[in-house]
Amino acid sequence: MAAKRVSVLLLALLLLAVAFPAEVMGGNLRPSECSPKCASRCSRTQYKKACLTFCNKCCAKCLCVPPGFYGNKGACPCYNNWKTKEGGPKCP
């Protein structure tokens, strides 16, 4: 019974690793990789300077940037959960 649970757990972890590459799961970027990732993420906003400032700050702390231009923050829990003093999202 325990061996079956371990097998199911390993299979689930394998499926997560395939579905979400390590970079997306968070925490695997080098600080030098933050700037290009944030430039890509902020490329379609009208608030580029603010977006880049906060994205780079969040990436330096969390070592991850969610994929895409908007949303997908669940792929990077640290990035998603960092809030302002007012309780709003800190990271774009």
Please report the pLDDT score of residue 23 as a whole number. Answer: 42
Top-confidence residue, 12 or 22? 12
Delimit the domains of the chain by residue range: 22-92
> What secondary structure, in 3-state letters, does 12-38 show?
HHHHHHHHCCHHHHCCCCCHHHHHHHH
Question: Binning pLDDT at 50, 70 and 90, where does residue 20 land?
Answer: low
The mean pLDDT of 46-61, rounded to a whole number, is 96
Does pTM top 0.85 for this prediction? no
Residues 38/52, Cβ–Cβ less than 8 Å:
yes
